[in-house]
């Protein structure tokens, strides 16, 4: 059993699926966990259930809809005020949309939630990550292999103007998660901040219920055959432990428990840098 006694972990999308399972496991390992959820009601329900399953767990709720940058910024400020450090950041919240939708900041909703919100949150917590153990687990997907951030200008994709399908938008956002991880490891490895990305498995979670697109309908049919979210939760916990602290491992990608190579585009350093610089400009932060 992992021992993360006293470590401070922030988990996004913590009320459901992989994030909920990871939260429970981090609590059982002794971490102090901050659950970031967009619905107070769903978040509180999950928190109550986690506490009743693990009495004495140190866990609390922060409510923020990550689709909107102003709300992510307020979340980051609240966390930065309250905490003296962050040891583990699990960027897990994710959406899949079958129709093009725009975020309040004018980005395609999948890109805004799955990539940009986590890019922003990580930067808002950067000083705290540097002070703490400073380890980030970005929950990506094998779908990153279908991602293509070269099919049009990245800004066109990010704004939804190159919309092809929900699957393409999801895959692009998951490719962005992997590129963010490698660039983060490259830029901040010498400052004690490490990062890994993860495919948590093909799991029976609510992500397949989020819309009525054909792939979601198909996946819902197969849900009874899928593993439960705990497979992903355990993979997150394992990566929240020490392996990712090794500079050799930082920046790598795991398919559940196994370290594997990423898609060729995810290994494109120029693309990673371009996405980073654009993301930094879009969130309006002075990042290096």
Choice from 16, 110, 182, 216 touching ligand NAP (CB under 6 A): 16
76 scored as a contact of ligand NAP (CB under 6 A):
no
Q: What residues contact residue 81 under an 8 Å CB cut-off, 6+ apart?
A: none
Choice from 61, 95, 136, 185 touching ligand NAP (CB under 6 A): 95
Q: Which is nearer to ligand NAP, 101 or 274 (CB)?
A: 101
Q: Which is nearer to ligand NAP, 65 or 241 (CB)?
A: 65
At 179, phi and psi to the nearest 5?
-65, -40
From 178-186, 200-208, 251-259, 273-281, give the range in contact with ligand NAP by CB under 6 A.
200-208
Closest CA relative to residue 205, chosen from 226, 221, 189: 226
Q: What is the CA radius of gyration of the chain?
A: 17
Choice from 4, 33, 59, 67 touching ligand NAP (CB under 6 A): 67
| Residues labelled catalytic | 170
Q: Which residues ranging from 137 to 166 are in contact with ligand NAP (CB under 6 A)? A: 139, 141
Choice from 2, 28, 30, 42 touching ligand NAP (CB under 6 A): 42
* Residue closest to ligand NAP when measured from CB atoms: 17
251 scored as a contact of ligand NAP (CB under 6 A):
no
Minimum distance, C-beta of residue 126 to ligand NAP, in the bound complex (Å): 20
37 close to 13: Cβ distance less than 8 angstroms: yes
256 scored as a contact of ligand NAP (CB under 6 A):
no
47 scored as a contact of ligand NAP (CB under 6 A):
no
Interatomic CA distance for residues 96 and 110, integer angstroms = 6
Interatomic CA distance for residues 197 and 253, integer angstroms = 5
CA atoms within 13 A on the CB side of 178: 32
Q: Which is nearer to ligand NAP, 49 or 269 (CB)?
A: 49
Interatomic CA distance for residues 276 and 186, integer angstroms = 12
Number of residues located near ligand NAP, criterion CB under 6 A = 28
103 scored as a contact of ligand NAP (CB under 6 A):
no
13 scored as a contact of ligand NAP (CB under 6 A):
yes
Choice from 115, 133, 135, 199 touching ligand NAP (CB under 6 A): 199
Q: Would you tell me how many other CB atoms lie within 10 Å of the CB of residue 72?
A: 27
Closest CA relative to residue 62, chosen from 22, 34, 91: 34
Choice from 4, 9, 11, 19 touching ligand NAP (CB under 6 A): 19
Angle CA 45–47–49, to nearest 5: 70
Interatomic CA distance for residues 216 and 97, integer angstroms = 9
130 close to 157: Cβ distance less than 8 angstroms: no
Question: Helix 117-124 crosses helix 166-188 at what angle (to 10 degrees)?
Answer: 20
207 scored as a contact of ligand NAP (CB under 6 A):
yes
Q: Which is nearer to ligand NAP, 4 or 231 (CB)?
A: 231
**Binding residues for ligand NAP (CB under 6 A):** 13, 15-19, 37-39, 42, 65-67, 92-95, 113, 139, 141, 199-200, 202-203, 205-207, 229
């Amino acid at each position: 059993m992992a021992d993360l006694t006293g470590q401070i972990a922030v988990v996004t999308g913590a009320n459901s699926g992989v994030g909920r399972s990871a939260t429970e496991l981090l609590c059982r390992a002794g971490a102090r966990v901050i659950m970031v959820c967009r619905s107070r009601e769903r978040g509180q329900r999950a928190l109550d259930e986690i506490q009743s399953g693990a009495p004495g767990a140190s866990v609390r709720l922060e409510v923020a809809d990550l689709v909107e940058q102003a709300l992510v910024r307020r979340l980051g400020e609240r966390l930065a005020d309250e905490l003296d450090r962050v040891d583990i950041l699990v960027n897990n919240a994710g959406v899949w949309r079958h129709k093009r939708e725009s975020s309040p900041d004018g980005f395609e909703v999948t890109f805004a939630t799955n990539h940009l919100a986590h890019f922003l949150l990580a930067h808002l917590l950067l000083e705290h990550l540097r002070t703490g153990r400073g380890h980030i687990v970005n929950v990506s997907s094998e779908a990153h292999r279908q991602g293509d951030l070269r099919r049009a200008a990245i800004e066109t994709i990010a704004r939804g103007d190159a919309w092809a399908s929900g699957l393409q938008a999801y895959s692009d956002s998951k490719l962005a998660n992997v590129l963010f991880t490698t660039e983060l490891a490259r830029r901040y490895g010498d400052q004690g901040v490490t990062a890994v990305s993860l495919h948590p498995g093909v799991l029976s979670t609510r992500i397949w219920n989020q819309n009525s697109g054909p792939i979601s309908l198909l996946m819902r049919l197969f849900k009874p055959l899928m593993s439960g979210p705990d497979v992903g939760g355990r993979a997150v916990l394992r990566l929240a432990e020490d392996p990712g602290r090794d500079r050799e491992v930082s920046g790598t990608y795991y398919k559940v428990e196994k370290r594997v190579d990423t898609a060729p585009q995810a290994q494109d350093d120029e693309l990673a840098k371009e996405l980073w610089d654009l993301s930094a400009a879009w969130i309006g932060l002075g990042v290096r």
